[in-house]
């Protein structure tokens, strides 16, 4: 049934359908930054997808608790993830030397 499925749909600014991707998790928050979509799920996974192809850029990161909110810093250097238990997880983005 459609109730058990989640999907991410992509449309142009003019409303033209560009594509979709079926998701295994229930999205709780997402943030569009540059050419990427950063998504958090109630199942506790943080995913980063390409904005145009909707394909995963990296394998999902397990946070082990439901994600309630996501934010990306202005310089795109860190991802801030708020978890259900009130913890704030800070993830460095980029090469290890840059983080």
Residue 38 bridge partners (DSSP):
31, 48
Query: pLDDT of 21-55, one tens digit each?
Result: 999 899 999 999 989 999 999 999 999 999 999 99
Half-sphere exposure of 12 (CA within 13 A, CB side): 5
Bridge partners (DSSP) of residue 47 are 39
Asked if the model's pLDDT at residue 85 lies above 70, the reply is yes
Pairing of strands 88-92, 6-11: unpaired
pLDDT in tens, 48-83: 999 999 999 999 999 999 999 999 999 989 999 999
Domain ranges of the chain: 26-92
CATH code, 26-92: 2.40.10.480
**Total Cβ atoms within 10 A of residue 31:** 15
């Amino acid at each position: 049934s459609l109730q058990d499925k989640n999907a991410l749909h992509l449309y142009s600014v003019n409303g033209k359908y560009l594509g979709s991707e079926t998701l295994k998790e229930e999205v709780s928050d997402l943030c569009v930054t540059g050419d990427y979509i950063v998504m958090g799920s109630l199942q506790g996974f943080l995913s980063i997808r390409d904005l145009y192809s909707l394909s995963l850029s990296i394998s999902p990161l397990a946070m082990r608790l439901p994600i309630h909110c996501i934010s990306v810093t202005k310089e795109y250097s860190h991802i801030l993830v708020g978890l259900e238990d009130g913890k704030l997880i800070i993830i460095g983005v980029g090469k290890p030397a840059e983080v």
